[in-house]
Structure 1
């Protein structure tokens, strides 16, 4: 049996009478005995339905207390969990089920017809402590395997990358990779049994799966699970449940800063010792304002699905604002002119390897690996102190008359303006220079022409001439993937079509 399954079982046994997982939508805590009972029921069901070692279970459910229970039960029988966004539409669900072989599918009730269509199935329903109704669709066209304890090199999770271009890649994470990633998270975040985390991120994603849920459970802490992030509920949830930390993205930080209901609900009595923030770097002004206004600290980090969570984190005792921190359990370099370099201030493609990093995808993508390194597709550099600075995505680089512009750098400069909620910088066609830098803004209410001029002025003061936006557009929102990441290629196509039509 793998270390993870052993430890998760022990956690429930040791906390038999302790409240360790709360479902905010139900307003209810569950103790170890109740959670273990649900795991046992699910294990029995999988055994009866011949779902066992190596079989893949497709899961499409919203955040709830049943999620960690279901994950544990799937692992205990040696099966593999493949979770996807709860908002997946029926057509996309059917396409996914037709593309790969799944022994069972577990979805919300409204998706049951789609999960059963076009294949011989058996529907099994359960009443659990953590959920009133759970429907398991057994695919009878798949033979299945006997229950068997998983080994360290058996797959535990299959996750789709949340990449911004092309078809998502399937990442297979073994029990060993998940264990190692979680252990690095526990050490770097200084997690103990005294910690309680608030889950606001979607639980099908690596951030919630490993950084929040798995790391907290393995360190003996408590979970408070919300259906989704709510600005006006965030601080009351923190205070009412004794939350000590939360993992978020910069968008959530921005919302908590500008949302009147969020600010009004903060009483200054919350015991939040830190907020972990990842995805892209926060502007200095917003990070320091958040820390000042909410009396906590922000720890920025960098990670991805392929690394079973994080690669870097700003250390508690020596954070460096604007950076993604220092490597945590990870060997890192930049690929520059065909060579892997570790010298300071050399910009190149970030490459990683370590005991929590995949060495291949489940489908062939050999160009993502070189000489034992995983090539992230992100551009960045390390300073003289070993802190990582992200400059952008390799595929997002804008070429202006031969000059290369990193969108993230321009976005960080424009984000300093108070009226800017979010900014995405893309390249749009230009007959003379090939591409022009275009800033796409989600702003606060106000005179957009004045805001546009303020953006031009800010850019002229802080950016090189070729980096300055030549065009500023205002939108209500961007096209996004299931985790909220902006789909830059789709945004670019939309704007090119609109501008071409005279919009």
Structure 2
């Protein structure tokens, strides 16, 4: 038995890859590439830099920035130093930012320079002692000959994490954390309430990486491109870290810019690509799509929100050489819980698949009793991938973890073979006239109209119906625009009368968070003002 406490940690994965393939390129961002040896050394320097500030194992360190090699190094450095990484959505400002930094008890913030003033505006009264550059502005990058960066508005000149990681002696850091210690506070998206900090120990994340490797067939020669935000658990924990664990060469982009995506897939012969449906949809409709050679692409993964079946069918028909994987789960489970593999899409295109390697599922009713196949119920999980609970939130932890199972809040149906199909979030089910209607079923019916680009269906409080089924619709540019009555008639031809929207509202876009998840609470607020 190994007596190395790092063996089952996030840090242990990188160390082993660096020993196996020291001279292979691990990560490329902008004009910089890091071999596995260089990345391993950079992580040690960055970890030493953070500990040199007086931070101690268990302290929380927030990362507040866009995708970059510095962001990836920051997570790995925290893991090596025993610090708890707190990823923060770079779009958060004001009270939302203050809440996350305060609720987590963050002591240090690693920020993109352009975002640092937002931290300064909210830090009064918080535990934040250090605000450091995550990376420098282009003029101040290492090797440019420019002065060291200072954070605008902070008055703190200082060495950025990327600069500290890039040169100097490699420190000896001791044994590092054990696999039972926290690696990250992974805040939920907060689509229905304030975000909760899921406490993720190293061992939970490593189990999640093994599940991802097995279910998604991730290989060292895949040539993956990652462009979805690393503050989100899918990009970081389902793709970046598992790919580094197997020694792949990862191309990292700052954001999912579609023209740049198309250029890099063709130019870099990308073989594996994960995108949220909110990016797959416009990519599939982009006017320059046919001008690019995407024949190198072999694996395409989607998740973080529901992919309309009509869009998936178009993508599969257009790219027959590509295997599509549906990834489903949530932050608390690392976040992958089920996968629908390419060979399973033909028979079950709407399914989210079966549980991954280290996840056990049940589908239960409100009393916790398992329901038979074909009956809607809440999916609950038992897994070593699960978080330990919610940070400083014992009541919410007790509500989510009952009798040894984590309650997801997702309403699903399981078939006889164990495949799950998402019906809805339990909180999004509509009670219309005393009958329950799944918003997703109505959305699929609306989406089948050729003029519809996006749709979201909610229940709006109504004196007659309890909740009136209401559809918010974004139309395709250039398509003949249907009227609300025509869309209602279209749905009526496909669904039972009580499921048909009582009202259709046309909008230019749907509100989403930076992870691509639809914010139905904002639609409910909007609808409350127009009844």
Normalising by the residue count of structure 1, what TM-score does the alignment of the two structures yield? 0.90
Pick aligned residue for 2:199 from 172, 176, 187: 172
Counterpart mapping for 1:64-103 below 5 A: 64-103=68-107
In structure 2, what is the Cα distance between the partners aligned to 1:122 and 1:350?
Answer: 41
Counterpart mapping for 1:228-239 below 5 A: 228-239=255-266
Q: State the superposition RMSD in angstroms.
A: 2.5
1:150 aligns with 2:154: no
Aligned twin of 1:404: 436
Counterpart mapping for 1:123-272 below 5 A: 132=142, 149-261=176-288, 263-269=289-295, 271-272=296-297
Aligned twin of 2:313: 288
Q: Which deviations, in whole Å up to 9, do the C-alpha atoms of 1:194-227 show, x marking residues without a partner?
A: 1222112110011011011111111211211111
In structure 2, what is the Cα distance between the partners aligned to 1:440 and 1:428?
Answer: 12
Aligned twin of 1:53: 57
In structure 2, what is the Cα distance between the partners aligned to 1:356 and 1:385?
Answer: 23
Q: How many positions carry a matched residue from both structures?
A: 488
SS at match of 1:450: coil
- How much has 1:268 moved relative to structure 2? 4.3
In structure 2, what is the Cα distance between the partners aligned to 1:257 and 1:114?
Answer: 36
Q: Which deviations, in whole Å up to 9, do the C-alpha atoms of 1:213-258 show, x marking residues without a partner?
A: 1111112112111111112222221122232212222222211122
1:273 aligns with 2:298: yes
In structure 2, what is the Cα distance between the partners aligned to 1:134 and 1:217?
Answer: 29
Asked if 2 retains the 8 angstrom alpha-carbon contact of 1:207 and 1:247, the reply is no
In structure 1, what is the Cα distance between the partners aligned to 2:66 and 2:132?
Answer: 19
In structure 2, what is the Cα distance between the partners aligned to 1:17 and 1:135?
Answer: 33
Pick aligned residue for 2:351 from 313, 319, 323: 323
In structure 2, what is the Cα distance between the partners aligned to 1:6 and 1:337?
Answer: 41
Aligned twin of 2:380: 351
1:16 aligns with 2:54: no
Deviates more, 1:431-440 or 1:128-137: 128-137
In structure 2, what is the Cα distance between the partners aligned to 1:236 and 1:29?
Answer: 19
Q: Which deviations, in whole Å up to 9, do the C-alpha atoms of 1:28-48 show, x marking residues without a partner?
A: 322223323321321221232
- How much has 1:27 moved relative to structure 2? 3.5
- How much has 1:95 moved relative to structure 2? 4.1
In structure 1, what is the Cα distance between the partners aligned to 2:457 and 2:278?
Answer: 16
Asked if 1 retains the 8 angstrom alpha-carbon contact of 2:374 and 2:413, the reply is yes
The 1:432–1:244 alpha-carbon spacing in structure 2 relative to 1, beyond 3 Å, is same
- How much has 1:490 moved relative to structure 2? 1.7
SS at match of 2:363: strand
1:310 aligns with 2:316: no
Deviates more, 1:66-75 or 1:85-94: 85-94
The 1:147–1:489 alpha-carbon spacing in structure 2 relative to 1, beyond 3 Å, is farther
Deviates more, 1:362-371 or 1:58-67: 362-371
In structure 1, what is the Cα distance between the partners aligned to 2:291 and 2:276?
Answer: 20
- How much has 1:456 moved relative to structure 2? 1.8
The 1:176–1:342 alpha-carbon spacing in structure 2 relative to 1, beyond 3 Å, is farther
Deviates more, 1:403-412 or 1:437-446: 437-446
SS at match of 1:194: coil
The 1:282–1:129 alpha-carbon spacing in structure 2 relative to 1, beyond 3 Å, is closer
Aligned twin of 2:415: 383
Pick aligned residue for 2:487 from 428, 444, 455: 455
SS at match of 2:234: helix
The 1:315–1:69 alpha-carbon spacing in structure 2 relative to 1, beyond 3 Å, is same
Aligned twin of 1:439: 471
The 1:447–1:7 alpha-carbon spacing in structure 2 relative to 1, beyond 3 Å, is closer
Asked if 1 retains the 8 angstrom alpha-carbon contact of 2:433 and 2:465, the reply is yes
- Point out where structure 1 has 5 or more consecutive residues left out of the alignment: 139-145
Aligned twin of 1:335: 364
Asked if 2 retains the 8 angstrom alpha-carbon contact of 1:286 and 1:416, the reply is no
- How much has 1:96 moved relative to structure 2? 3.3
1:416 aligns with 2:448: yes
Q: Which deviations, in whole Å up to 9, do the C-alpha atoms of 1:92-114 show, x marking residues without a partner?
A: 43443344422211112233344
Aligned twin of 1:297: 323
SS at match of 1:37: helix
Pick aligned residue for 1:489 from 501, 512, 521: 521
The 1:113–1:456 alpha-carbon spacing in structure 2 relative to 1, beyond 3 Å, is closer
In structure 2, what is the Cα distance between the partners aligned to 1:252 and 1:428?
Answer: 28
Aligned twin of 2:162: none
The 1:52–1:240 alpha-carbon spacing in structure 2 relative to 1, beyond 3 Å, is farther
SS at match of 2:343: coil
The 1:385–1:429 alpha-carbon spacing in structure 2 relative to 1, beyond 3 Å, is same
- Point out where structure 2 has 5 or more consecutive residues left out of the alignment: 143-147, 157-172
In structure 1, what is the Cα distance between the partners aligned to 2:480 and 2:471?
Answer: 13
The 1:281–1:121 alpha-carbon spacing in structure 2 relative to 1, beyond 3 Å, is closer
